Amino acid sequence: MFDYVIVGAGSAGCVLANRLSEDPDVRVLLLEAGPPDTLENIHVPLGYLQLARTEVDWDYNSAPEPECGGRRIPLPRGKVLGGSSSINAMVYIRGNRRDYDEWGVAGWSWADLMPYFLKAEDNERGASEWHGAGGPLPVSEGRSQNLIARAFVDAGEQAGLARNDDFNGDQQDGVGMYQVTQRGGMRASAAVAYLHPAMERPNLTVLPYMHVQRVLMDGTRAIGVRASQLGQEQDFNAEREVILCGGSYNSPQLLMLSGIGPAEHLTMREIEVLLDQPAVGENLSDHAAAYAVWTTPEPQSLLLALEPEALEEFETSQTGPFTSNLAEAGGFARVGAEAPAPDVQFHVAPVHIVDEGMSDPQAHGIWVSPCLLTPNSRGTVRLASSDPTAKPIVHNAFYSQGDDMQRMIAGMRLTMDICAQPALRPYCAEPFTTPDGSSDEALRAHIATTTYAVYHPVGTCRMGEDAGAVVDDQLRVNGTEGLRVVDASVIPTVPRGNTNAPTIAVAERAADLIRGGGQTAPPAESAAAAAVAGAER
């Protein structure tokens, strides 16, 4: 018997395991389907390129995407302690204050969440009105500082964008180098930051290789979970709460496997309906992105990691190519008519990417990718069958609604403009994967063949105060007792930026809600108060 059973050791699950077990009188169980985070490629930043389709990746794919030529788009998700924070590109972005204010959910505005961003953060720049110091999550400058990535920033300025040295400061617009969740040139996943420091606590139990099959219910009250390890089923009881932290694909999947979801769909999958909740698995939102690739004769790309000197540099000083998070540089721009905040983000990798990364680089090069920050399109997550080991069916429905494609075309056009500037000409020397012309038709065709998901899915267990929400403003599953969802799936709309930092902030606030019995006030920190008062993006 445990007080809390947490399902999923991803970013949110690691935060909750740490925060809830701070109370020595509380017994916490954390279950993770994947292994411990012992692989060297998890911790050496550039090593994450070797983790896709391994035992630490759920290795999902989308259903065929109609607006993307019917392609099935890869959807990697972390299946390991740390979850996707153990296999992601480590970019630290909070998003824009408008994202949170527009959720319209009491207690979840920018002013409510900003203190939790600061509480979590340990930024090497030190504490300020915009940054925290001393929190669990290390945030650092990138140590690779590749010349090609820095040239993108110069080219962005030449194209008319502002230089921005802090995308998490008073302005989000502009181009610059990303800060990353690293410490000393090594990955700082949520497991490294939150879970490992807490694992010696006697009241915290962490069980890897434990695939949860469903939530155990007594009527409408969650009383535990059933899990399988090496084919052996086990039940774990929760005296207070079961907390799902499986992410935007696995949390709705687990709710549906437990009989909570769209009744007609569950009936078709031969699952007994406990609670007809049509919104479970709806409202999927992710950042669709496309890309362009050039080769260069300049020997400056991340292929330098293949040289013996690069390994020697990493081993002696934790700098150089092995510390690269791949997407070292980027920026935020507005392409939509009268956009009130950025609606396109750039990720720039100083490497020649071939066949969507499925083939080896053939030369030095650069990959530049615009993504649509504020999509109108919404997708779904559905069950393939009642078998818990079956992968969920994910329909992203990219570019299916509103002006998403028109704004993506504008983002690609801006990409081509930036890459034509003098600062990037030496590195964009020969087109490799680029649009076949500058017309809308040519750009649309290029986007259809190069679109991928930026791995920022949210919304499938949306929080809200309306009848269509899956969880309430305390993240409790509507119509149940003792059951919450705490992960990116509760976020109503995808934020303007990478989603790891927002997920951690959501979990930090959720921990206070859980410990406070449902009501809490954000921590009173002077830096937080100053940030909230002055935050105009």
> Which residues are known catalytic residues?
456
Q: Which of 25, 454, 414, 485 is nearest to 242 (CA)?
A: 485
191: amino acid identity, one letter: A
Nearest C-alpha neighbor of 396 from the set 388, 406, 385, 404: 404
Look at strands 174-177 and 179-180 and give their pairing.
Answer: unpaired
Query: Do 288 and 453 form a contact (C-beta atoms < 8 A)?
Result: yes
Give the containing element (helix H, strand E) for 418: helix 404-419
Q: Cα(63)–Cα(68) distance, rounded to whole angstroms?
A: 11
Evaluate whether 509 touches 522 at the Cβ level (below 8 Å).
yes
Q: Which residues pair with 243 in a beta bridge?
A: 6, 484
452 in helix, strand or coil? Answer: strand
Listed in sequence order, the DSSP H helices in 174-235 are: 190
Rounded Cα–Cα distance for residues 171 and 484 (Å): 34
Residue whose structure tokens are 């009501």:
519
β 2-7/28-31 pair status: parallel
Residue 158 to residues 173, 292, 420, 431, 464: CA-CA distances in angstroms? 15, 19, 10, 20, 43
Which residues contact residue 235 at a Cβ distance below 8 angstroms, ignoring those fewer than 6 apart? Answer: 216, 224, 225, 226, 227
Tokens at residue 115, please? 């203190």
Burial class (CB in 10 A: 0-12, 13-18, 19+), 311: middle
The CA distance from 481 to 26, in Å, is: 19
Altogether, the residues listed in the chain come to a count of 537
* Other beta carbons within 10 Å of 226: 17
Say if residues 477 and 220 touch (Cβ distance below 8 Å). Answer: no
Q: To which residue do tokens 């078998």 refer?
A: 387
* Tokens 């007994």, located at residue: 272
Residue whose C-alpha is closest to residue 23's, from 51, 45, 3, 43: 3
The answer to whether residues 303 and 352 touch, using CB atoms and an 8 Å cutoff, is yes
- Cα–chain-centroid distance for residue 216? 28
What's the alpha-carbon Rg for the chain, to the nearest Å? 22
